[in-house]
Amino acid sequence: MRCVVCERLSFKAICNECLRKILKEEQHTRILEGGLKVHSFFSYASISPILLTKHHFWGHRILQKIAFHTFADFAEKFEFEEKVAAVAIDDRPINGYSHTAILIHALKSVSIIPVYGALRAKNSVKYSGQSYEFRRKNPRCFIASKNIKKFKYAILADDVVTSGLTLKEAKETLEKEGVDTLFALVLADAKDN
């Protein structure tokens, strides 16, 4: 097997040296139009080879490892006076697993409860590589499940934020259900930091 980052021979999908280098990234915050805060752990450029593994059936192993070192660490330190729902952006399985479900699973803690299937997109168009205008003209059209109504607060989770339109739309959908989005948590921000 080879490390997906440096391509050297390794018994692990990401060798220990590359994992140490990757995990040195600092958390960033971007505020989207409308006021939603988005916390990211990496710039997209720094972990794009890792994120692209989600398109392979074996990508879940890599994503779990990164989620453990980012989302799980974050959840361990997060405190809130009420239980907060961790809501994935459309956690339908693709290639045998859901990359966003892996992320909210890592968020599980005393204060955070993963709510699987909370937001599903009626429009499954692919945004990867598309323009802002294309994304704006093709919204996800989210439907919220009934089980999200048990919560007053939520944290949105996704792998990448690009334009922020999807997160903004997800926040608005939750608001219609009476759920306030505290912030969004993503692995990478595609906007230059």
Residue 45 and residue 193: Cα distance in Å, rounded? 11
Annotate 37-82 with DSSP letters as a single string.
EEEEEEEHHHHHHHHGGGGSTTHHHHHHHHHIIIIIHHHHH---SS
Its pTM stands at: 0.86
Arch. (CATH architecture) of 27-189:
3-Layer(aba) Sandwich (3.40)
pLDDT mean for each 10 residues of the chain (193 residues): 82 79 78 94 84 74 85 94 94 79 94 94 77 83 92 96 92 96 95 66
Strand, coil or helix: 103:
helix
At 4 the pLDDT is 76
Domain ranges across the chain: 27-189
pLDDT for residue 90? 81
What pLDDT is attached to residue 52?
A: 76
Residue whose token pair is 């956690």: 91
The reported pLDDT for the residue numbered 192 is 63
